[in-house]
Amino acid sequence: MKRDIFQAIADPTRRAIIALIALQAMTPNALAENFHTTRQAVSKHLRILTECELVKQEYKGREIYYSLEIEKMKEIDDWLEQYRKIWETRIDQLDELLAAMKKQGEDK
């Protein structure tokens, strides 16, 4: 199943993981030390983030290091930009309406 990227940031633990690995690549064990959850729970979150292509894995010896795919995070911003445009259109329309109402009031 292809995951929706927005599922990734919908969970507070996953957001915390993103914040941590944005600073430096980390192993699942190192990540788990930051949370009151099991190493298994952290692994599950990492799997979801990997499926969303928000993180990449790198093998160094026997350890796997996880780091952030910055480009993918940018996609979220691009997507939010479209939501912003909807509000922009809406506010533009209100602005036009108010101008028309004001004019009507003055003409009376």
Specify which residues 56 forms β-bridges with.
Answer: 67
Residue of the chain from 6, 33, 47, 58 that contacts another protein (CB under 8 A) = 6
Binding flag, residue 103, another protein (CB under 8 A): no
Tell me how far, at minimum, the Cβ of 105 lies from another protein, in Å: 8
- Cα(44)–Cα(51) distance, integer angstroms: 11
Binding flag, residue 94, another protein (CB under 8 A): yes
- Cα(91)–Cα(31) distance, integer angstroms: 44
Which residues lie below 8 Å from residue 78, measured CB to CB, with a gap of 6+? Answer: none
Binding flag, residue 58, another protein (CB under 8 A): no
Residue 52, number of CB atoms within 10 A of its CB: 19
Binding flag, residue 22, another protein (CB under 8 A): no
User: In this structure, what token pair is assigned to residue 8?
Assistant: 């990734």
Nearer to another protein, 62 or 106 (CB): 106
Nearer to another protein, 20 or 64 (CB): 20
Binding flag, residue 82, another protein (CB under 8 A): yes
Q: Quick one: which of 1, 2, 4 has its CA closest to 75?
A: 4
In the complex, the residues that contact another protein under the rule CB under 8 A are: 6, 9-10, 12, 15, 76, 79-80, 82-99, 101-102, 105
